[in-house]
Amino acid sequence: MSPHSTERAGRTAGVSYSVAAYLLWGVLPLYFLVLAPTGPWEVVAWRVLLSFVFCVLLLTVTHSWKAFIAIATQPKLLGWTALAGLLIYVNWQVFLIGTLTGHVVETSLGYFINPITTVLLGVFVLKERIRALQWTAIGIAAVAVIVIVVVYGAFPWIALSLTASFGVYGLIKKQIGPAVDAVSGLTLESFWLIPIAVVQLIVVASTTGITMGSNGVWHAVLLAFAGVVTAVPLLLFAAGTRRVNLTVIGMIQFITPVMQFIIGVLFLGEPMPPERWIGFIIVWVAIVVFVVDLFLAARRGRRTAQAELV
């Protein structure tokens, strides 16, 4: 196989991995709703503990303990993974609270504006320069949030918490770079959260009661898969981003919020009064501007590359 064919096969595989990850994230609300009557605090606790167990099994099966130990002996990397763990915990907890309290549409809003949040973090934290169309998309998205707050009359704390936590989480993963592989990183992130998960289970047990094992075998099996459901999309995402450029990822990532929005409106019947539609339409305008900018940047990149070959 020629180098060109190998590179093309790698890109195809990367797109497939990325699409699979975002499709799985898109249907997660339905999975967590099936876990009723398990509440968001218990679900996240099991999600943390079982993700850790699943990652330990992966490290064992893939014989990756040597790489994991090399990472675990570097204090700086341990600090980054601890911070990443706290951020992904906030993201998981807010997402579960939103999903299980009838706010799936608002969770989709958070992931709609997440790419724009990522651009802002690049500007203010990494001192990156951005293009005029990107500034335009940021401005339109800001107007959308103001409209939702003022016209709809509700502060979208779920959406903004999701986009902020996942945006900074992505920034930290970028800072860590290739020094921490996907499985080792998720193992450490889950490890740091074990005390929080244990405390949550103790509190749940002393208040509403633990649901694991008390609602039939089928419910217990579904809840036991929380770790797999958490880890697999993250691993697919990591595999995809290593094979395709960020422009392609930027296009693909809108699969998740579109699916969540459809689930919230069509399947769960969440309210969408005119005021809320206005806010979402403005967000979608911002996304169109953002995607157009990605297309134009990719086209300019290809032209530059071709000119250099001539």
pLDDT of residue 68: 93
pLDDT of residue 202: 97
* pTM for this entry: 0.87
Q: Long-range contacts: 71-79, Cβ < 8 Å, 24+? A: 71/179, 71/180, 71/181, 71/184, 71/185, 71/188, 72/188, 77/176, 77/179, 77/180, 78/188
pLDDT of residue 49: 96
CA distance 223 to 86: 22
pLDDT of residue 175: 78
* Largest pairwise CA distance in the chain: 71
pLDDT in tens, 242-274: 777 666 776 788 889 999 999 999 999 999 988
Return averaged pLDDT per consecutive 10 residues of the chain, 310 residues in all.
63 84 92 93 96 94 92 92 94 95 92 84 80 86 85 85 90 79 90 97 95 92 92 84 68 86 93 89 89 80 67
Return the axis-axis angle of helices 104-112 and 157-176, rounded to nearest 10°: 40
Domain boundaries, the chain: 3-309
